[in-house]
């Protein structure tokens, strides 16, 4: 169970290799990589800056991860979230889950993404030719969370 | 206590962190106190529905008590991922 918040880029393949290294009990390894899009609401973006709350970020991610571990059969999980100034096409976030079977790995990866979207203290600011704009939270992100309750 | 601000709340108030001596009993009381100090706080906290708060790094509510608290943070809804 690994949580990392960093400015540096990550190597998804190397991270997945590390998760399964020396193990023969993992049957399913699921990963999600979030990328910076080059447009927002039809407007070109030249950068995306991610701010976070050091200390709280790590504990919030660890708590979300613990919820996933309590809910599904997981053999390993990984969350890497980047901060700082990113460019279109850059990787922002990596979530990976390992389980004996795919259903738990898929579900847990979606759960982790849904929660870190609106329950981990990150804020995105889009840089456009006209200046910067803080990204608004989306109602659809709250809706995505509701399916996990109950 | 230390009061931290993030994203556009930080930009409107103009500092990322400050030490505040207060007798506010709850988060809502602290916000009222700050708003009465200077216009920049009144601007930052004008739309309270778009303000989230963490008390000692735990997501909290406006009626969360501040007794014994070391750190309060104000920020907009989170946009990770």
Closest listed residue to residue A33, CA positions, set A106, A96, A83, A125: A96
CB B69 within 8 A of CB B2: no
> What is the β-pairing status of strands B2-5 and B17-19?
antiparallel
Q: How many CB atoms lie within 10 A of CB A75?
A: 20
Whether residue A116 and residue B73 make contact (CB cut-off 8 A), yes or no, is no
Closest listed residue to residue B42, CA positions, set B52, B32, B50: B32
Burial B2-35 (b: 16+ CB within 10 A, else e): ebbbbbbbbeebeeeeeeeeeebebbbbbbeebb
Closest listed residue to residue B10, CA positions, set B60, B45, B59: B45
Whether residue B79 and residue A56 make contact (CB cut-off 8 A), yes or no, is no
Q: What is the ipTM of this complex?
A: 0.94
Segment A49-96, tens digit of pLDDT: 999 999 999 999 999 999 999 999 999 999 999 999 999 999 999 999
pLDDT value for A95 = 98
CB A127 within 8 A of CB A118: no
Lowest mean pLDDT across A42-56, A128-142, B64-78: A128-142
Chain B nearest CA to A136, separation (Å):
7
Owner of token pair 């109602």: A139
Instruction: Give CA separation, B70 vs A59, A116, A139, B19, B34, in Å.
Output: 17, 25, 32, 10, 17
Q: Where are the beta strands (DSSP E) in chain A?
A: 2-6, 28-35, 39-40, 43-44, 47-52, 76-82, 84-86, 91-99, 122-128, 131-134
Torsions phi, psi of A13, nearest 5?
A: -65, -45
Q: Which residues neighbour A20 within 8 Å (Cβ) at sequence distance 6 or greater?
A: A26, A29, A76, A98
Segment A1-55, tens digit of pLDDT: 899 999 999 999 999 999 999 999 999 999 999 999 999 888 899 999 999 999 9
Q: Closest partner residue to A123 among B57, B59, B78, by Cβ?
A: B78
Q: How many CB pairs under 8 A join A and B?
A: 65
């Amino acid at each position: 169970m690994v949580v990392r918040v960093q400015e540096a880029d990550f190597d998804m393949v190397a991270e997945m290799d590390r998760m399964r290294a020396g193990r023969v009990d993992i049957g399913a390894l699921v990963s999600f990589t979030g990328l910076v899009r080059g447009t927002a609401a039809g407007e070109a973006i030249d950068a995306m800056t991610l701010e976070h709350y050091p200390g709280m970020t790590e504990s919030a991610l660890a708590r979300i991860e613990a919820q996933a571990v309590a809910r599904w059969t997981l053999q390993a999980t990984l969350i890497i979230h980047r901060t700082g100034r990113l460019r279109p096409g850059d990787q922002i976030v990596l979530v990976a889950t390992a389980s004996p079977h795919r259903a738990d790995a898929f579900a847990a990866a979606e759960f982790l993404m849904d929660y870190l979207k609106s329950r981990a203290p990150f804020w995105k600011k889009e840089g456009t030719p006209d200046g910067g704009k803080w990204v608004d939270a989306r109602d659809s992100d709250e809706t995505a969370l509701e399916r996990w309750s109950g | 206590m230390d009061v931290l601000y993030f994203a556009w709340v930080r930009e409107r108030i103009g500092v990322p962190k400050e030490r505040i001596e207060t007798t506010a009993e709850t988060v809502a009381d602290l916000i009222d106190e700050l708003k009465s100090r200077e216009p920049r706080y009144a601007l930052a906290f004008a739309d309270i529905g778009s303000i989230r708060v963490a008390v000692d790094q735990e997501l909290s509510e406006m009626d969360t008590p501040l007794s014994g608290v070391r750190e309060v943070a104000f920020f907009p809804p989170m946009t990770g991922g």
